[in-house]
Every structure is written in structure tokens, then in C-alpha cells.
């Protein structure tokens, strides 16, 4: 079975550029989560969706960050404009109905120069 698929795996770009991270959840899962991992702050939940609807975006750091889930099989996390402090590993996770565990993608390592 395919797991959560994230792209790109690595992204290096210059400050001020727009960055788009992509996620394909596991088929049949109805919840999708975006996390950011840094040494200083550990794993932080940015936003999550249930049935394609954003439920809690309180973790989104500021208006430069936005996330969409246009359908059950695709989500994007966009940063515009990007800043060096956005450098981190970004994970997408999905889970099925009920209290199923979240399954994580391999992450996108983002470096903003």
C-alpha cells in the first residue's frame, strides 16, 4: 500500500520566493495534518483538515503561510514570501476514521537562503 507521499523531498530557494509543498494522503483517509519540525521547537502542528475542510489552523505561524485541500487526495502548503526562519522539515500526515494513528510522509526538507 502506498503511504503518504510528499513532494519535493528537498527544496532550496532564496528568501522572498514562493514555496509550495505537496502532499498526497493515504487513500481512504479522511484527516490530513501539516507539521513543521525544527531543532528549537520540535514538532509543531500547523493545520489540519477533516474531510477536506480546515478544522484548526491555529498553528500557522503567520499570514505568509496558507494551506489548501481541494480534494481528498491532495493538499498543498504554501509560503509566500519565504524567509530564512521558515527553514525546517515539513511533514504531512493522514489518518483514517476514528482514533486511527496518523501516518507520516517522508517530509520535505526546506532551506531558505
Partner 1 sequence: AQKVTQAQTEISVVEKEDVTLDCVYETRDTTYYLFWYKQPPSGELVFLIRRNSFDEQNEISGRYSWNFQKSTSSFNFTITASQVVDSAVYFCALSNAGGTSYGKLTFGQGTILTVHP
Is residue 77 within 8 A of residue 56, CB to CB? The reply is no
Coil, helix or strand for 61? Answer: coil
Q: Determine the Cα–Cα distance for residues 91 and 78; give it in Å rounded to an integer.
A: 13
Of 23, 65, 95, 112, the residue at the interface with partner 1 (CB under 8 A) is: 95
| Number of residues counted as binding partner 1 (CB under 8 A) | 22
Of residues 56, 85, 111, 113, which one binds partner 1 by CB under 8 A? 56
Question: In whole angstroms, what is the distance from residue 113 CA to residue 108 CA?
Answer: 16
Q: Segment near partner 1 (CB under 8 A), from 16-24, 61-69, 73-81, 102-110?
A: 102-110
Candidates 1, 53, 62, 99; binder of partner 1 (CB under 8 A) is 99
Phi/psi of residue 29, each to 5°?
-75, 145
Interface residues with partner 1 (CB under 8 A) are: 31, 33, 42-43, 45, 48, 50, 55-56, 89, 91, 93, 95, 99, 101-107, 109
Amino acid at each position: 500500500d502506498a503511504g503518504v507521499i510528499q513532494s519535493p523531498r528537498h527544496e532550496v530557494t532564496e528568501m522572498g520566493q514562493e514555496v509550495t509543498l505537496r502532499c498526497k494522503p493515504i487513500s481512504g483517509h479522511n484527516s490530513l495534518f501539516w507539521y513543521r519540525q525544527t531543532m528549537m521547537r520540535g514538532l509543531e502542528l500547523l493545520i489540519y483538515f477533516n474531510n477536506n475542510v480546515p478544522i484548526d489552523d491555529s498553528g500557522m505561524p503567520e499570514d505568509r503561510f496558507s494551506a489548501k485541500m481541494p480534494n481528498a487526495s491532495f493538499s498543498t502548503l504554501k509560503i509566500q514570501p519565504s524567509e530564512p526562519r521558515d527553514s525546517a522539515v515539513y511533514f504531512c500526515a493522514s489518518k483514517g476514521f476514528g482514533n486511527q494513528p496518523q501516518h507520516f510522509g517522508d517530509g520535505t526538507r526546506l532551506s531558505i537562503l
